[in-house]
Every structure is written in structure tokens, then in C-alpha cells.
Amino acid sequence: MTLPFTADSADTGLTIAVTTSRHPDAQEEQEARELAAREGFLFRPRRRRPLEALFAGDAARGEVPVAVIVVVTRDQVVAHSRQGPPLFFHPGMAKIRIQRLRQGGGDPMITAMDLGPGQRVLDCTLGFGADAIVSSYVVGETGEVVGWESSPVIACVMRHGMARYQQPVHAELPALVAAIRRVKVERVDHRLGLPHLPDGAFDVVYFDPMFRHPLLHSQPLAPLRLFADHRPIEVEVLEQAKRVARRRVVVKDRSSGEELDRLGLTTRVGGHKSPVTFGIWIKE
Ligand SMILES: C[S@@+](CC[C@H](N)C(=O)[O-])C[C@H]1O[C@@H](n2cnc3c(N)ncnc32)[C@H](O)[C@@H]1O
């Protein structure tokens, strides 16, 4: 089950409303109202109502039914639909991967990107942001990572969830929080955004599209799947990415997938024991 997608929620009739916790103070409500206005979503006052009542709306007050409710509190931004689990930001695998890098271990995506400090990365498929955060850790303060996400719900949840994310005090990984904060999240469809960028604008342009056949055990991706843009990468998009990349274009796929062949990416990293492979295009 997936929700209808568009870069502009108004196009599909996918109505999205922002609300607060059940007992917000004035500041929390003001912040939620402002967030709704910035994202172009409706604002629905909570009035202590359960989510089910918010989805339906109160016709007597002129409220229309909505498909998605985004609950905004000081600590979190969580998107709810009636079709599946809620979506919120958590650093998940990024934390484990950064810990591994700090212990001198490798990361196949970083190897595929040949990434180092000071470089600029355009992540064209942000999703949960794990890959963007690991890139952000590697490029450091002198580099830059921009994350594009076409799904309005995912872009909103990740942008505001990443800004609010606080580590438990005992976690002792300040580098993780710093890397999260440096990712610049933008609601952009890469099909529309790439043609506007100048040649060589980023060192690496990266894609991790939704797999045509999802890995069965990737249960944590279930909330993302519901709200995500499932369209495959177009050949024209890859050509634009090659123009925008100063050094490399990197595309992730299942090791058993056919997308890298379809896109003509024959240079590969990973795949022997890993369920995923990276296809690489290197600028001459
Ligand atoms: C598999 S997820 C990416 C996961 C991400 N690499 C991570 O580490 O969490 C793919 C994401 O790309 C987004 N997406 C798909 N097509 C897109 C497009 N044309 N422009 C921007 N984002 C897109 C989807 O909505 C989804 O959130």
C-alpha cells in the first residue's frame, strides 16, 4: 500500500494537516502553525481530539477529511496515516555506520563515492537520511551534503525531525548529532531540480531509489514505503546527474536487481556477501 505521490501535495488530493500534542502550550501551537504554513499543509487545532477524529475532521467547523496528520511537538515530528505505521526520524543505521568508521572500519557507500573531507554531495533520494548523515560525517564541517526528497511528508518529517533530534546524554557520539545537523534537507524532485544545477556543482551525486522488489527483512523501511515516491530513476536523470557531478555518480540497488544494468552502470562496489551493490560512473 502506498499513498499517491507528488512534489506538490495539492496535485494529488493527498491532504496533509499539521496538529500538536493533546495539551500544547501557546508556543508549541504557534510553532506547529508556522511549520504548517511553511510546508504548505493545513493546520488542524488538536482540541484534545484523538487522531481518528482529526483524520475525519469536524464538518460543523468546516474541516475536510485528511489523509495524513503530522503531529508536531518540541521533541519530534511524526506523520500518521490510516494505512500503516507512523513515520518519524531516527538515526538508525547511520549511528552504527559512523561508529564503525570511527573504529577504522569501512563503509561500502563511502568507498563507492571515494568520499573524503571537504567534498560536496548531492543525495537525490534522502529517505530516512541515513546515507546523507554518513556522507555528512565523512565530508565534515568543510564539506556539504544537500538531501533532496520529493515526498512532501518525508521531506517535512526528516527536515524537522533532524533539527529536533537530541541524543540521550549517555550516548557519547556528538559527531553523529553534528553530522545530522549539517545535512541540508530540501523538498525537491530530482527530475525537476537537476536540470537547474550548473555543471560540476557537486563532487558526488548519489541515488538510492526505492527497490523494485523490497528486501523482505527491511521492516524498518515500512513507514517510509507508505509515503515514498516509488518511481524508478530515468535515464535522462542519470545524464543530468553526470553533468552535475564533478567526480562521480553513485547509484544503489539490490545485488540481485536489474536497475544498474538498465542504467548502464557497469562499474560496481559491493555485492559479494552484501544484499546491496553500488553502480559507479566516474568522470574522465
Ligand atoms: C530507499 S529511500 C532512500 C533511503 C536513504 N538513502 C536512507 O539512507 O535512508 C528512497 C527515497 O527517495 C525518494 N525519492 C524517490 N524519487 C525521488 C525523486 N524523483 N526526487 C527526490 N526524492 C525521491 C523516496 O520518496 C524515498 O524517500
pLDDT of residue 28: 95
Distance 126 CA to ligand 1 centre (A): 5
- Predicted confidence (pLDDT) at residue 124 exceeds the cutoff of 90: yes
Contact 131, 109 (CB under 8 A): yes
pLDDT, tens digit, for every residue of 59-88?
999 999 999 999 999 999 999 999 989 999
pLDDT of residue 96: 93
Contacts of 127-130 spanning 24+ positions with Cβ under 8 A:
127/154, 127/158, 127/208, 127/224, 127/228, 128/89, 128/90, 128/92, 128/158, 128/221, 128/224, 129/89, 129/94, 129/158, 129/162, 129/180, 129/183, 129/185, 130/91, 130/92, 130/93, 130/94, 130/97
Beta strands in 131-233 (DSSP E): 144-149, 184-187, 202-207
- Predicted confidence (pLDDT) at residue 219 exceeds the cutoff of 70: no
pLDDT, tens digit, for every residue of 236-260?
999 999 999 999 999 999 998 999 9
Q: Which of 9, 88, 126, 219 best tests ligand 1's pocket when mutated (most atoms within 8 Å of CB)?
A: 126
Counting from 1 in the atom list of ligand 1, the atom nearest the Cα of 190 is 20
Whether 191 is in the pocket of ligand 1, judged by its Cβ within 6 Å, is yes
Angle, CA of 150, 14 and 210, to the nearest 5°: 35
pLDDT of residue 217: 57
> Hunting for cell 523501511 — which residue is that?
221
Helix (H) or strand (E) holding 49: none
Percent share of the chain, pLDDT over 70: 91
Ordered domains of the chain (ranges, CATH): 9-81 (no CATH), 92-282 (3.40.50.150)
Counting from 1 in the atom list of ligand 1, the atom nearest the Cα of 211 is 1
Burial annotation 174-206 (CB, 10 A radius, 16+ → b, else e):
eebbebbebbebebbbbbebbeebeeebbbbbb
pLDDT of residue 10: 40
Within 10 A of 77 (CB to CB), how many other CB atoms are there? Answer: 23
